[in-house]
Amino acid sequence: MLSFTDSVPAFRRRPSMITVQGKIAIVTGGSRGLGKAIAKKLLDEGMTVVIADILEEELKSTADEFTAQGLRADPFVADLGRVSDINGLIAYTVKKHGTLDVLVNNAGIQIRKPAVDFEEADWDKLMGINLKAFYFAATAAAKFMIKRGRGSIICISSANSTEYTSKRSLYNISKAAVNGLVGTLGVEWARYGIRINAVAPGYVETDMVKQGIKDGIINLDEILSILPIKRMLRPEEIANAVCFLASDEASGIVGQTIFVDGGWSKNGLPEKKDL
């Protein structure tokens, strides 16, 4: 008598389908947290990565850490709130490394307070990093990529772009705008061989989130109650999605926001809860 396993073909290990080896990438906000995990994944897959950040000491430490592992990390200090620094980052990368294949817009900030307490300076600061920098980095990269006829741009959005939590109105708005940014630029640039997409993480186990839990700002029990996977996401899980979108295997994905949130956006938020 045949058992169930008798009808199952023998498993054969296949090589990785991700083809990014030899590509040149930029990761903004790459000195720590999610950006560092993304940079590490791209480096592990054989890419050269220019890590851009305003945090000079952390940037150098991260680059030294990667270099000690034999990875091709190149640090670049930049204030991404300044378009001139963004243009300098793109120009530096192309001049030093000869090309630019992938841009990861990751750098972002959070300001948490009631909506009625936000001031114009808060708007300018947060939108300057979370949206303006994304737009001008993408357009600066696209000017070069259009000439080459190919390129991939990945923007880090958030599950908060559709699942709203209180005291984060500016952040939520900025991430919803990022989803719109990749959609409209995806349509405009696809004809030039440029793909722009977004990855929208849920609650990721970064140092910043851990500190928020410790300080009582983030309610871990409530978060876990709405996550179908019943755990927080690991930074590497977000990095894997970014790496896929950077690869040739994602050639048909244009203008999309991919939610990597453990099912949060499909499960919704508990009513009247402040997470």
- Residue 203 contacts residue 238 (beta carbons within 8 Å): no
pLDDT at position 16 is 60
Transcribe 79-107 into DSSP letters.
-TTSHHHHHHHHHHHHHHHS---EEEE--
pLDDT at position 223 is 86
- Residue 143 contacts residue 83 (beta carbons within 8 Å): no
What is the rounded CA–CA span in Å between residue 43 and residue 49?
Answer: 7
- Domain parsing of the chain, residue ranges: 19-267
92 is catalytic: no
Mean pLDDT of the chain: 91
Choose, from 92, 171, 192, 203, the residue flagged as catalytic: 171
pTM of the model: 0.90
Q: What's the rounded mean pLDDT across residues 77-100?
A: 98
CATH code of 19-267, in short, is: 3.40.50.720
- Kindly tell me the burial class for residue 272, based on how many C-beta atoms sit within 10 Å of its own C-beta (0-12, 13-18, 19 or more): exposed
> Tens of pLDDT along 37-77?
999 999 999 999 999 999 999 999 999 999 999 998 999 99
> Tens of pLDDT along 122-174?
999 999 999 999 999 999 999 999 999 999 999 999 999 998 888 889 999 99
Q: What's the rounded mean pLDDT across residues 240-249?
A: 98
